[in-house]
Amino acid sequence: MIDLSTRDIKYLSGVGPQRAEILNKELNIFSVQDLISYYPYKYVDRSKIYQVSELSDTMPYIQLKGVIKAFREVGEGRKKRLVANFTDGTGFIELVWFGGVKYVASSLKLNKEYLVFGKPTLFNGQMNIAHTDLDDASDAILSSLGLKPYYNTTEKMKKRSLTSQGIEKLMKAAVELLTDPIPETLPTYLINRYRLMPLQEALINIHFPSDPQTLRDAQYRLKFEELFYIQLNILSLSSERKHKYRGIPFPKIDTYFHQFFYNNLPFELTNAQKRVLKEIRKDVGSGIQMNRLLQGDVGSGKTLVALMGMLMAVDNQYQACMMAPTEILATQHYATVVDFLKGIDVRVELLTGSTRKRERERILSGLLSGEVNIIIGTHALIEDTVVFKSLGLAIIDEQHRFGVEQRGRMWAKSLNPPHILVMTATPIPRTLAMTLYGDLDVSVIDELPPGRKPIRTIHQFDSKKKELYQKVRSEIAIGRQIYFVFPLIEESEKIDLKNLEEGYEQISAEFPDCNIVKVHGKMKPADKDMQMSIFAEGKAQIMVATTVIEVGVNVPNASVMVIENAERFGLSQLHQLRGRVGRGADQSYCILVTGYKLSEITRKRIQIMVDSNDGFEIAEADLKLRGPGDLDGTQQSGVAFDLKIANLAKDGQLLQYVRGIAEDILEKDPKQNLSENMVLWKNLDKINKRGENWRVIS
């Protein structure tokens, strides 16, 4: 048996220190095993060799075998290209390179037998293939037998000739090591029962499959394993947790809750709110520790549910806290809660980064003595100086802004961990939620309070600014407020900020009578909060901003959200932004402004926004169109969510299937000591030691 995880990639034939460093940095590849688990993103059939005489420009990628008779550089400067005359005896075609001319020219050999691979095109009546890969015909044995693998690479890698072809070469060297047996990572009984390809065979065939069916079998085995271990890990963690910790029981619903419910609650709860409250009630009453994710679209009334949950804690002589990602949000929550609790004898406090020292000391001592029943705040709440007398429930609003680590730190605030309720308005599709939050129970508020007018979403090209401003003007005339949102991402920060500035200038010129505030993420938090408050208090009619306004700000009088360069936003993000309007009873609008030239997929994405107001539907569609790596909520949580081979958009069924299998195993082997499963627990340990990213999620 050989252990490829201990073989430094540096010593693999064809690598060496310089390339090793690039592989380390660019792809996180350190061992031969890491390299072998870097799977191709596509395959092309190279089993057939065509003849030059039969080529036509309607053919897809094809393969030729022949020699180069002559080559020359053509053109000057940036137009310089390299042209080679290639023949296989049945005719001539031109091979053309537009970049790296010097490098290619120095590596070409006349009359040497090459395999040429590419897509034939007709240019000026002459058939050519551009930017072809040239393989030495004599060492292209493996790939020419079957499907050729293609690997993603980066610019830096290409500079060290770690092109897809280059990686393929290394992969061949790595796969050759697999002639010695390697340890299997799944127990034999699973392999037999689910007819899986053994690991060794799967690893060879995922890179160099002999035919499409073998490839499918190899893919299935590796996807199965990847998803299975994720689920086994999450489920075993949560069952361990259930054994280790008892939950704090809240046996009664009492005066505070009832006072609020019968005297203060200004409206009827929606059915969805009632259902979720029952679910929470059941958890906290049962003696288990609640770990619940509450999903609900913007405006669905999560805050109210949170408040009523906190009152359950207070009724049982426990304290509750609610943590929000920004100061302005925490302040708004505080104001809402204080307002809701008018006349009820519950002490509520607000703690943020800008709470003054004296005030802070007063609050901290109130928490310690138990006189403060409910505390609302920002990250300031998880600092070590914040000590509770008896924390019974911790609520985290807008989860994706917090790291998981912070969720963990909330746990440590009490001897028995408090009940945890995580609230998010980013709808997470089921399959993704299962992977990301597999250890959390999920509640969903899938209904908006009655009387809301759905937001009207309009797509407008940026050539029609006049109409846009007209609309804005008429809304301002009836006393409404307007948001203009510009994209800002790190990679293009300077240009984006300039765009925002220009936009601000233009809007200022267009609306000279209006007060306009400007808010972006690069401002000092205090300045930002100040500008936001001006707008929230109605002292400005227009806010020009980047996505900093995305989370939670509540300005019911704002009725129009204009989103510039809408094509640059993720769908879930657009939906979040849109949720900033439509909070009052009036008709509100979301105007998505884009350029005229849009790709097919972008048009579809924008159309989904125009057609649907349902966050879940949008998130599902987004997942299908983009893949999960780009989904908001995964990126924003800072989790580099990257599966090696499975695809959550496509493999949802397999995910559920393996989750069932993992559940069965844990049920039969709760102590994790059956000999038939040894290999599972050993591997789980190994995976956790490697610190693979999904572990930290739970």
* Residue in 35, 248, 304, 329 binding ligand ADP, rule: CB under 6 A: 304
Cβ nearer to Mg ion, comparing 113 with 447: 447
Q: Is the dihedral of CA 30, 36, 40, 44 positive or negative?
A: positive
Question: Which structure tokens are listed for 149?
Answer: 């693998």
- Give the Cα separation of 645 and 32 in Å (integer): 18
Binding mask 92-121 for ligand ADP (x = CB under 6 A): ------------------------------
Which residue, chain included where needed, has tokens 């537009």? 98
Q: How many residues does the chain have?
A: 698
Stretch that binds Mg ion, among 170-178, 282-290, 340-348, 549-557 (CB under 5 A): 549-557
Question: Which structure tokens are listed for 527?
Answer: 């300045």
Crossing angle, helix 164-176 and helix 199-207, to 10 degrees?
150
Cβ nearer to ligand ADP, comparing 171 with 337: 337
Cβ nearer to ligand ADP, comparing 209 with 299: 299
First-to-final CA distance of the chain: 33
CB of 393 to ligand ADP, least distance (A): 17
* Rg for the chain, CA atoms, rounded: 30
- Does position 269 interact with ligand ADP (CB under 6 A)? The reply is yes
- Does position 298 interact with ligand ADP (CB under 6 A)? The reply is yes
Give the one entry of ligand ADP, Mg ion, none that residue 103 binds, where binding means its C-beta sits below a cut-off of 5 to 8 angstroms depending on kind.
none
Cβ nearer to ligand ADP, comparing 273 with 414: 273
CB of 573 to Mg ion, least distance (A): 16
Which residue, chain included where needed, has tokens 């804690």? 313
Cβ nearer to ligand ADP, comparing 295 with 355: 295
- Does position 396 interact with ligand ADP (CB under 6 A)? The reply is no
- Give the Cα separation of 558 and 562 in Å (integer): 11
Is residue 191 classed exposed, middle or buried when 0-12, 13-18 and 19+ CB atoms within 10 A define those classes? middle
- Does position 231 interact with ligand ADP (CB under 6 A)? The reply is no
Instruction: Please list the alpha-helical segments (H only) found in 455-584.
Output: 465-477, 493-510, 525-536, 571-578
CB of 574 to ligand ADP, least distance (A): 16
CB of 444 to ligand ADP, least distance (A): 12
For ligand ADP, how many residues bind (rule: CB under 6 A)? Answer: 14
- Give the DSSP letter of residue 461: E
* Residue in 33, 219, 303, 331 binding ligand ADP, rule: CB under 6 A: 303
- Does position 558 interact with ligand ADP (CB under 6 A)? The reply is no
For Mg ion, how many residues bind (rule: CB under 5 A)? Answer: 1
CB of 329 to Mg ion, least distance (A): 8
CB of 451 to ligand ADP, least distance (A): 7
Residue among 480, 481, 554 nearest 304 (CA): 554
CB of 341 to Mg ion, least distance (A): 17
Which residue, chain included where needed, has tokens 């609306």? 511
- DSSP string for 406-451: HHHHHHTTSSSPPEEEEEESS---HHHHHHHSTTSEEEEE--PPTT
Stretch that binds ligand ADP, among 9-17, 56-64, 293-301, 496-504 (CB under 6 A): 293-301
Stretch that binds ligand ADP, among 183-191, 291-299, 480-488, 560-568 (CB under 6 A): 291-299
Give the three-class secondary structure for 636.
Answer: coil
- Give the Cα separation of 697 and 436 in Å (integer): 6
Cβ nearer to ligand ADP, comparing 33 with 332: 332
Give the one entry of ligand ADP, Mg ion, none that residue 296 binds, where binding means its C-beta sits below a cut-off of 5 to 8 angstroms depending on kind.
ligand ADP
CA dist 511 to 471, 507, 538, 542, Å? 12, 6, 16, 9
- Does position 299 interact with ligand ADP (CB under 6 A)? The reply is yes
Of residues 406-425, those binding ligand ADP (CB under 6 A): 425
Residue among 617, 302, 276 nearest 443 (CA): 276
- Does position 301 interact with ligand ADP (CB under 6 A)? The reply is yes
Give the one entry of Mg ion, ligand ADP, none that residue 298 binds, where binding means its C-beta sits below a cut-off of 5 to 8 angstroms depending on kind.
ligand ADP
Residue among 655, 690, 682 nearest 230 (CA): 655
- Does position 427 interact with ligand ADP (CB under 6 A)? The reply is no
Binding mask 440-469 for ligand ADP (x = CB under 6 A): ---------x--------------------
CA angle 181, 39, 214 (to 5 degrees): 65
Binding mask 550-569 for Mg ion (x = CB under 5 A): --x-----------------
Residue among 134, 138, 124, 47 nearest 86 (CA): 134
What does residue 8 show for φ and ψ, rounded to 5 degrees?
A: -60, 135
- Does position 582 interact with ligand ADP (CB under 6 A)? The reply is no
Q: Looking at 155-274, which runs of residues are DSSP E strands?
A: none
Give the one entry of ligand ADP, Mg ion, none that residue 19 binds, where binding means its C-beta sits below a cut-off of 5 to 8 angstroms depending on kind.
none
- Does position 302 interact with ligand ADP (CB under 6 A)? The reply is yes
CB of 48 to ligand ADP, least distance (A): 58
Residue among 398, 453, 452 nearest 270 (CA): 452
CB of 554 to Mg ion, least distance (A): 8
- Give the Cα separation of 325 and 397 in Å (integer): 7
- Give the Cα separation of 233 and 439 in Å (integer): 10
The answer to whether 566 touches 588, Cβ cutoff 8 Å, is: no
Give the three-class secondary structure for 450.
Answer: coil
The number of CA neighbours under 13 Å toward the Cβ of 439 is 22
What does residue 442 show for φ and ψ, rounded to 5 degrees?
A: -115, 130
Stretch that binds Mg ion, among 218-226, 429-437, 496-504, 548-556 (CB under 5 A): 548-556
CB of 246 to ligand ADP, least distance (A): 31
Give the one entry of ligand ADP, Mg ion, none that residue 269 binds, where binding means its C-beta sits below a cut-off of 5 to 8 angstroms depending on kind.
ligand ADP
- Range 483-510 burial, b when 16+ CB lie within 10 A, else e: bbbbbbeeeeeeebbebbeebbeebeeb
Of residues 133-172, those binding ligand ADP (CB under 6 A): none
Cβ nearer to ligand ADP, comparing 218 with 555: 555
CB of 378 to Mg ion, least distance (A): 14
Cβ nearer to Mg ion, comparing 40 with 552: 552
Cβ nearer to ligand ADP, comparing 270 with 636: 270
Give the one entry of Mg ion, ligand ADP, none that residue 449 binds, where binding means its C-beta sits below a cut-off of 5 to 8 angstroms depending on kind.
ligand ADP
The number of CA neighbours under 13 Å toward the Cβ of 196 is 24
Q: Which residue is nearest to ligand ADP (CB)?
A: 301
CB of 262 to ligand ADP, least distance (A): 15
Cβ nearer to ligand ADP, comparing 349 with 397: 397
Where do contacts with ligand ADP occur on this chain (CB under 6 A)? 267, 269-270, 273, 296, 298-304, 425, 449
Where do contacts with Mg ion occur on this chain (CB under 5 A)? 552
